[in-house]
Amino acid sequence: MTKSILLIFSISSLIAEPNWEKARDETVDLFQQYLRIDTSNPPGDVRLAAKWFANIFEEEDISFETFTVPDDPRRMHVLAELKGMNSELKPLLIINHMDVVPVDEDFWDEKPFDGELRDGVVYGRGAIDMKGMGIMELMAMIQLHREGWRPERTIKFLAVADEEILGPLGASWMIENHWDKLDPEWVWDEGGIGSEDSFPGVSAFAIAVAQKKSFWVEAVVEGKSGHGMRPYKDHPNEILVKALTRIVNWNTPLEISPVVDEMFNRLGESTGGGQGFVMKSLDNGLVRYLAGGSVAGTSVSTNAMLRNTISLTMLNSGYKTNIIPEKATATLDIRLLPHVEPEEFLDDLKYVVNDDRVQFISKRIPRNKHVSSWETDFFNILSDELHREKPDALAMPFMTIGGTDSQFFQAKGVNCYGLIPVMVTEKDVQSIHGIDESLSVENLMMGTRIVYHTIKRVCGPGE
Ligand SMILES: [Zn+2]
Rounded to the nearest whole angstrom, what is the distance from the C-alpha of residue 171 to the centroid of ligand 1? 12
pLDDT digits (tens, 9 = 90+) for 71-99: 999 999 999 999 999 999 999 999 999 99
Rounded to the nearest whole angstrom, what is the distance from the C-alpha of residue 321 to the centroid of ligand 1? 43
Alpha carbons 378 and 398: distance in angstroms, whole number:
15
Rounded to the nearest whole angstrom, what is the distance from the C-alpha of residue 341 to the centroid of ligand 1? 26
| Residue 2, pLDDT above cutoff 50 | no
Q: Which CATH superfamily is domain 17-191+397-458 in?
A: Zn peptidases (3.40.630.10)
| Predicted structure pTM score | 0.87
Rounded to the nearest whole angstrom, what is the distance from the C-alpha of residue 139 to the centroid of ligand 1? 19
Rounded to the nearest whole angstrom, what is the distance from the C-alpha of residue 42 to the centroid of ligand 1? 14
Read off the pLDDT of each residue in 47-53 and give the average, rounded to a whole number.
98
| Residue 8, pLDDT above cutoff 70 | no
CB 141, CB 82: distance < 8 Å: yes
Task: Domain 213-364: give its CATH architecture.
Answer: 2-Layer Sandwich (3.30)
pLDDT digits (tens, 9 = 90+) for 284-337: 766 666 666 776 767 777 888 889 999 999 999 999 999 999 999 999 999 999
Domain extents for the chain?
17-191+397-458, 213-364
Strand, helix or coil at 3? helix
Rounded to the nearest whole angstrom, what is the distance from the C-alpha of residue 190 to the centroid of ligand 1? 6
Ordered DSSP codes for 363-419? EE---------SSSHHHHHHHHHHHHH-TTSEEEEEEESS--THHHHHTTT-EEEEE
Number of Cβ within 10 Å of residue 427's Cβ equals 10
Q: What is the mean pLDDT of the chain?
A: 92
Q: Which residues surround ligand 1, an ion (CB under 5 A)?
A: 129-130, 190
Q: Do domains 17-191+397-458 and 213-364 have the same CATH topology?
A: no
pLDDT digits (tens, 9 = 90+) for 114-146: 999 999 999 999 999 999 999 999 999 999 999
CB 254, CB 293: distance < 8 Å: yes
pLDDT digits (tens, 9 = 90+) for 404-457: 999 999 999 999 999 999 999 988 988 888 999 999 999 999 999 999 999 999
The confidence score (pLDDT) of residue 271 equals: 81
**Band (3; pLDDT cuts 50, 70, 90):** very low
Read off the pLDDT of each residue in 55-60 and give the average, rounded to a whole number.
98
Strand, helix or coil at 170? coil
The confidence score (pLDDT) of residue 288 equals: 67
